[in-house]
């Protein structure tokens, strides 16, 4: 799939972008070109210190913003595959600066789609979030809009060989702005503030997220939204794993936060099939695609099915969380 291909990664200097690019360089050295598209020159400079175009001649660093369709179109020249990871992601910031979030997450998504339609792009995988399912905050609402834009590309692609799908997953362990780095930074104080003692979240590692995107590139037919089967954790258990016996004052949830995150709502379940390691949410009314999946062994989920972090059957224990954090973040022994 990647041999001889050219790839563009929006938000390429972020946590996912860097992990994805390292994986492609390691496993697919025959890739023709990887364009790292982002707006932060400092992050690009820092990334070039360990992923240098001199050592990796496949790499190109492009300064640009998804709000700028002309720059996107120029960056997409000769590109076969697009991984869309660029977004404004901080829930409180989005609540306070709503239209800035809309301009990047919604208008930026449409800019990318228009630019892909104007060039020779063949495949697009866009990253979503669990917050896009039944959203109660602006960030989740913008990502739901973005998801709908990408999964509808097949309606407007005409005779082009262009397919687009979306991958939706939960919190990436250790990503910037997430709870684990915050707790690690505060563990020496002996006090880790908890938003709500019953709060849960889905968990996925960066490597698992990269695996899912690569799998989607190989297996998508266009229009699907893929959801992984992953474990949940309790926020209190994360605090205990990082700083055993610490005080956990409850400080209340932030604006726009949920107690439990959903990835598939009961309404979504009408168009959801179980494909083994993942679920696939199929476009409403596309019976041909649904039949294709069912003929190839997918099964329909039960009536009334929902998939949320609170009722998930798979929860990480304190010990499992501690081991994962030590391994994924290289913290050394936490206990």
Mean pLDDT of 226-233: 97
Could you read off the pLDDT of 311-327 as tens digits, one per residue?
A: 999 999 999 999 999 99
pTM of the model: 0.94
- Is the predicted pLDDT of residue 177 greater than 80, yes or no? no
Element (H, E) at 81: strand 81-84
Mean pLDDT of 135-151: 97
Could you read off the pLDDT of 236-290 as tens digits, one per residue?
A: 999 999 999 899 999 998 888 899 999 999 999 999 999 999 999 999 989 999 9
Separation between Cα atoms, residue 268 and residue 134, nearest integer Å: 10
Please provide the average confidence, as pLDDT, over all residues in the chain. Answer: 95
Query: 154: pLDDT confidence band, cut at 50, 70 and 90?
Result: confident
Could you read off the pLDDT of 5-48 as tens digits, one per residue?
A: 999 999 999 999 999 999 999 999 999 999 999 999 999 999 99
- The tokens for 314 are 């798979």
* CA–centroid distance for 82 within its chain: 14
What domains appear along the chain, each with residue ranges and CATH number? Answer: 6-329 (3.40.50.720)
Question: Residue 286 has what pLDDT?
Answer: 92
Question: Residue 68 has what pLDDT?
Answer: 98
Query: 214: pLDDT confidence band, cut at 50, 70 and 90?
Result: very high
Rounded percentage of the chain residues whose pLDDT exceeds 90: 89
SS3 content of the chain, % helix, strand, coil (to 5): 40, 20, 40
Cβ 101 vs Cβ 142: under 8 Å: yes
Question: Residue 174 has what pLDDT?
Answer: 76
Mean pLDDT of 137-163: 94
Query: 165: pLDDT confidence band, cut at 50, 70 and 90?
Result: very high
Beta bridge partners, 279, equal: 227, 274
- Is the predicted pLDDT of residue 176 greater than 90, yes or no? no
Residues 6 or more apart in contact with residue 46 via CB below 8 angstroms = 13
- Is the predicted pLDDT of residue 332 greater than 90, yes or no? no
- Is the predicted pLDDT of residue 140 greater than 90, yes or no? yes
Question: Residue 288 has what pLDDT?
Answer: 94
Question: Residue 83 has what pLDDT?
Answer: 98
Question: Active-site positions?
Answer: 131
Q: How far is CA 210 from CA 2, 15, 22, 125, 213, in A?
A: 14, 11, 10, 11, 5
Instruction: Look at the block and give the residue holding tokens 């799998």.
Output: 215
Could you read off the pLDDT of 100-116 as tens digits, one per residue?
A: 999 999 999 999 999 99
3 state DSSP class of 172: strand
Query: 191: pLDDT confidence band, cut at 50, 70 and 90?
Result: very high
Q: How far is CA 258 from CA 253, 308, 309, 315, in A?
A: 8, 11, 11, 18
* CA–centroid distance for 36 within its chain: 17
Mean pLDDT of 195-220: 96
């Amino acid at each position: 799939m990647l041999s001889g291909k050219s790839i563009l990664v929006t938000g390429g200097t972020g946590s996912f972008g860097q992990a994805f690019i390292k994986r492609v360089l390691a496993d697919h050295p025959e890739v023709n070109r990887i364009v790292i598209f982002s707006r932060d020159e400092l992050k690009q400079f820092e990334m070039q210190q360990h992923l240098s175009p001199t050592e990796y001649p496949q790499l190109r660093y492009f300064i640009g913003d998804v709000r700028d369709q002309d720059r996107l179109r120029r960056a997409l020249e000769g590109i076969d595959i697009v991984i869309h990871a660029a977004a404004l992601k901080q829930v409180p910031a989005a609540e306070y600066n709503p239209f800035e979030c809309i301009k990047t997450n919604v208008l930026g998504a449409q800019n990318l789609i228009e630019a892909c339609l104007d060039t020779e792009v063949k495949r697009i995988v866009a990253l979503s979030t669990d917050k896009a399912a039944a959203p109660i905050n602006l960030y989740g609402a913008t990502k739901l809009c973005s998801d709908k834009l990408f999964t509808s590309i097949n309606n407007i692609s005409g005779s082009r060989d262009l397919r687009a799908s979306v991958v939706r997953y939960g919190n990436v362990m250790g990503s910037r702005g997430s709870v684990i780095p915050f707790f690690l930074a505060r563990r020496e104080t002996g006090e880790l503030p908890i938003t709500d003692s019953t709060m849960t979240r889905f968990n996925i590692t960066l490597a698992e997220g990269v695996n899912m995107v690569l799998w989607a590139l190989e297996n998508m037919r266009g229009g699907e939204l893929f959801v992984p089967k992953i474990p949940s954790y309790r926020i209190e258990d994360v605090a205990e794993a990082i700083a055993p016996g610490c005080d956990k004052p409850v400080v209340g949830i932030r604006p726009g936060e949920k107690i439990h995150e959903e990835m598939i709502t009961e309404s979504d379940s009408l168009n959801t099939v179980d494909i083994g390691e993942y679920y696939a949410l199929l476009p409403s009314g596309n019976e041909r695609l649904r039949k294709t999946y069912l003929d190839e062994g997918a099964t329909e989920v039960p009536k009334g099915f929902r998939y949320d972090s609170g009722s998930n059957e798979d929860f990480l224990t304190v010990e499992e969380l501690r081991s994962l954090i030590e391994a994924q973040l290289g913290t050394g022994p936490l206990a």
